[in-house]
Amino acid sequence: MDSQQFFDEVMAIASENEDVFYDNESGVGEYLQHRWPEAFKEAQISTTEEGEEISDILPSLGEVADLGYDKINDHEKFINDLKDVIDGLKAGRWMRSGEFDD
């Protein structure tokens, strides 16, 4: 899967589940960051202006899909992780610190 296909699929999943995703964007980000830390770090570095410190704020899902693409070694797994977290939230599961609190 090339980078554009990956980006498009990730954003389509977020868009198709807009209410759940945007109501829980930080939780989804934390969940994925636990599983894909290098992709999130790359996106954070890439969005930091020269001379600024790297922000602790999570990059957006689109930034990770675009700028962190090369740091994701299994793009299908990333997509499945995204679907899993959204499905869990749709089922009414609660999150704490980026993990489901069952």
Specify the DSSP element, H or E, that contains 100.
Answer: strand 99-100
Could you read off the pLDDT of 21-36 as tens digits, one per residue? 999 999 999 999 999 9
pLDDT in tens, 1-17: 899 999 999 999 999 99
Domain definitions of the chain by residue range: 3-100
Q: Is 51 left (phi over 0), alpha (psi -120 to 50) or beta?
A: left
pTM exceeds 0.75: yes
Give residue 28's pLDDT.
Answer: 96
